[in-house]
Chains A and B, each alone.
Chain A
Amino acid sequence: MEDKFKVLIVDDNPENLNVLYNLLQEKYNVFAAERSELVVDMAVSHMPDIIVLDIMMPGLNGYQVCENLKSLETTKDIPVIFMSALSETIDIIKGFEVGGVDYITKPYQKEVVLHRLWTHIDLAKSKKEIVNFNNALIHKVNEKTSELEERIEEITRMNHVLRESEDKYHKLFSSAPEGILIINASTTEVIDANSSAVELFNTTFDSLLDKKQDQLFLSQFGKLSDIDQSSQKVATSNMVFRNKIIRDDGDELDVELTSRLILIEGEMCQQVTIRDITKQTQYENGLKEAKRKSEELNELKSAFLANMAHELRTPLIGILGYSQILTEEIKEDGLVEMIEGIHNTGQRLLNTLNLLMDLSMLGEKNHTFKAVPINISEILRDVCEKMEPKAEKKSLTFFNELIKDDLFILGDERMIKSIFVNLTNNAVKFTENGSVTLKSSIKKDADKELIEISVKDTGIGISQAKIDLVFEEFRQESEGISRDYQGLGLGLTLTKKFVDFNKGQIYVVSKKNAGTEFTVTFNLINK
């Protein structure tokens, strides 16, 4: 029963209703209404597929019922077939005007009714299907439309973001403090430039665009073909190099270029960043010049020292010669001491000048000397013999803590002796009370043996601030009281150089007013 179509039949005449019911009930699920007032309610509750409606009825007539049905959303699509004894054209037309789909006049033929009924049900069914299909279509279209709208919205949003970022990058490009050129790598023509680049070239944007790479830079830095031949790495990584740019007014400007290859709209391009390094170059050149000058001055100083020393040495030889003659000739008391004084002082002066010459000689680049096996123990004994009287003269205690065995090192005898004479001399010179100690010991270092010689005093010491400077030329720590300790300040410089030349090491430990200890080490050899 459920599968059958539903038909609502309306007639105030029970007999007519009955006949119709019987006619239809076999094929349809039939609902019948005798009173026209019930029709709308029944239509709403049963939702028939079609309604067969009598016109002339007490109360509401069929036209009115039809109009009511058509005015309701739920029932307006239910097809209504009028069935009436009224057969005037005007009645029939009215039936259609109020929304009927057909008009059957009574008396009727059963088959006609069945056919027409079926036709309209079928029509309504089709119509419903079409409507449903249409609705589904509309629904789909709406769905797609809203999907599209979302896409459009997203694209718009992306466009906006893109434009913002493009804007940002354009600002970065155009307002960068470095000049930036975009050069087509195959034609070498400039295709874009920022305002800093325009300024650097002292030109206009338009005239910059006309130029080729070789019109802008003093030395060329590779066309695409050059870069292709080199490795991929070169092509993708930044190349930084110095160059000069040629400005519009013909001036040249020192610049640092950073070049890298980038793809712009399928074209291989060079992005060249230009940094003005005129100031930096000037500064560097100034530094180089200053360095050259100071080296020149240093050489001049060495040459001057050497010449001075030679110059002063010459008459000293005569003074020493004369004093030697006078020592022989004059035997008078008082005068002998004076002549000896002249001779000894002259000799010391000569030694100092020889030291000065050694210093300038060591400054010469191509100086060489021969290292031979020498007995360092013997040298140290000589130093002790020579220095002990000097210490005693100043009432200082002189401690000799040297190893008695003969020990050998490779070196230059005169230099080695000079090292310890200098250090001991300084110790005596800068100590007013206490002692001077000369000590040697053997140290094992890895597979070799070292001799460690220390010269220790209880003198004025060296302040921490100046301890690193003591080996520099012409420095003497006690500047404030230097009159008490006259000397050229050459001793330690030479000592250090002599130690270096003989492949030794020298250290100093000192504390202001608490004494100084110099330690020198040399590699021992077997002899």
Chain B
Amino acid sequence: MDKINWNEEFFIGHSEIDRQHKNLIALLNEIIEKKQVFESAKVVADSLEKLMELITIHFKTEEKLMAELNLPSSESHKKEHLTFIKTISDLSFAAFDELITTPDEIIKSLKDLLEHHVLVADADLRKYFN
């Protein structure tokens, strides 16, 4: 599976947010890189746990920023965050129930999720800073 290459489209224009996005993409790339040497269960658990940790901190940063900027889209954006967390949770249950059996399936979903977050969900922030 291809790694995610950082490109101009991902750029938000806020240094802390962009730094966190880069870290999240780096984490996902690391998971893609390591999946060959890990057993599936370990990849699944590790990926989800670490991503959950980083994304929770990231969402707090974004939500705090949106509150400060008093963005009108902040409520719907917060909902996007909860959907993100729910999707990861659902992935973990699916993995446990063996509805998903390969690391690739998980990683593909995480990749889509992350790209959606940076490109679509954070569109309001991008618009504000550009």
A contact residues vs B (CB 8 Å cutoff): 306-307, 310-311, 313-322, 324-325, 328-329, 350
Contacts and interface: CB of A to CB of B under 8 A. Distances in A.
Given A311-B96, A313-B49, A314-B44, A322 B88 contact: no
Contacts of A319: 89
Most central of A310, A318, A329 by chain B CB within 10 Å: A318
B108 interface: no
Contacts of A317: 45, 48-49, 52, 88-89, 92
Contacts of A322: 86, 89
Given A310-B41, A313-B49, A314-B45, A321 B89 contact: yes
Contacts of A306: 42
Given A317-B52, A320-B52, A310 B88 contact: no
B128 interface: no
Nearest to A323: B89
Contact of B89 (A307, A318, A328, A329): A318
A318 B93 contact: yes
Contacts of A350: 49
Contacts of A318: 88-93, 96
A355 B33 CA distance: 25
Interface string B17-45: 00000000000000000000001011011
A242 to B, nearest CB: 44
A54 to B, nearest CB: 152
Interface string B45-56: 100110010001
Contact of A328 (B82, B90, B93): B82
B95 interface: yes
Contact of A324 (B49, B56, B90): B56
7 contacts: A306-B42, A310-B39, A314-B44, A314-B48, A320-B89, A322-B86, A325-B89
B66 interface: no
A231 B56 CA distance: 78
Contacts of B89: 317-322, 325
Secondary structure at the A interface, as helix, strand, loop or mixed, is helix
A315 B99 CA distance: 13
Interface centre among B41, B86, B88, B91 (most CB of A within 10 A): B41
Given A315-B92, A318-B96, 19 more contacts: A306-B42, A310-B39, A310-B41, A310-B44, A311-B96, A313-B49, A314-B95, A316-B92, A317-B88, A318-B88, A318-B90, A318-B91, A318-B92, A321-B86, A321-B89, A322-B89, A324-B85, A328-B82, A329-B82
A347 B82 CA distance: 19
Classify the interface of chain B: helix, strand, loop or mixed.
helix
Nearest to A307: B41
Interface extent on B, as a size class? 20 to 34
A310 B96 CA distance: 10
A314 B86 CA distance: 14
A319 B86 CA distance: 10
Contacts of B52: 317, 320-321
Contacts of A324: 56, 85
Given A318-B90, A318-B92, A313 B82 contact: no
Given A307-B41, A320-B52, A315 B85 contact: no
B88 A315 contact: no
B92 A314 contact: yes
B114 to A, nearest CB: 16
A435 to B, nearest CB: 35
Nearest to A322: B89
Contacts of A307: 41
Nearest to A310: B41
A320 B42 CA distance: 18
A321 B96 CA distance: 14
A247 to B, nearest CB: 52
B41 to A, nearest CB: 4
A329 B41 CA distance: 31
Contact of A321 (B39, B45, B85): B85
Contacts of B85: 321, 324-325
A293 B125 CA distance: 61
Given A321-B52, A321-B88, A315 B96 contact: yes
B43 to A, nearest CB: 9
Nearest to B43: A310
9 shortest A-B CB distances, which residue pairs?
A321-B89, A318-B92, A318-B89, A315-B96, A317-B92, A310-B41, A313-B45, A318-B93, A314-B96
B66 to A, nearest CB: 14
Contacts of B95: 314
Contacts of B42: 306, 310
Nearest to A329: B82
Contacts of A310: 39, 41-42, 44-45
A321 B92 contact: yes
Interface in B46-81: 48-49, 52, 56, 78
Most chain A CB inside 10 Å of its own CB: which residue of B39, B49, B52, B95 = B49
A313 B41 CA distance: 9
A279 to B, nearest CB: 45
A325 B83 CA distance: 9
A3 to B, nearest CB: 136
A302 to B, nearest CB: 14
Contacts of B78: 328
Residue among A307, A320, A321 with most chain B CB within 10 A: A321
A350 B93 CA distance: 15
Contacts of B92: 314-318, 321
Contacts of A325: 82, 85-86, 89
Contacts of A316: 92
Contact of B41 (A314, A320, A321, A328): A314
